[in-house]
Amino acid sequence: MKADELYEKCGGLIKKYRNRLNKMKQQELADKVGLSRTSVANIEAGKQSVSLHQLYSFAEHLQVDVQELLPDSSSSVEGGERELRKKLPKGSSEELRDWAINVINKG
C-alpha cells in the first residue's frame, strides 16, 4: 500500500469513528488531541500525515483501539474482492464473480 493511500484510509477511519460519537465536530476532536481543526480536516482527508503519538491520542478520544484506525494491510485488492463478493447477488455465477474480480485487479 502506498503512503498516500495509507494516510487516506487512516484519515477516513478517524472520520468514521468521529462521526459515530454523536457526530463529534472536528473542532471538538481537535481540542482533545491538541491539533487545529484544519489539521484534523487534513488528516481525515489524507492530506496530512499523522504521527504515532497522535494516532494513539485519536484512538483514546474516539474510544477505540488504535488498531481500528489502521487500515487492513490486505485491504487494497483483496479487500476489494471481499467487498465485491459480499455485494454480488446470491446465486451469481462464478464466471460473473471472476470477471468482476479481474476488472478490479486490472485497476
CATH of the domain at 19: 1.10.260.40
- Please tell me the pTM assigned to this model: 0.68
Give the pLDDT confidence score for residue 28 in this predicted structure: 96
Host domain of residue 41: 3-69
Q: What digits encode the pLDDT tens for the residues 69-90?
A: 998 765 454 556 666 666 777 7
Give yes or no: residues 10 and 46 share one domain: yes
Give yes or no: residues 26 and 59 share one domain: yes
Mean pLDDT for the chain overall:
85
Give yes or no: residues 54 and 26 share one domain: yes
Give yes or no: residues 52 and 98 share one domain: no
What is the SS3 string spanning the chain?
Answer: CCHHHHHHHHHHHHHHHHHHCCCCCHHHHHHHHCCCHHHHHHHHCCCCCCCHHHHHHHHHHHCCCHHHHCCCCCCCHHHHHHHHHHHCCCCCCHHHHHHHHHHHHHC
Give the pLDDT confidence score for residue 105 in this predicted structure: 64
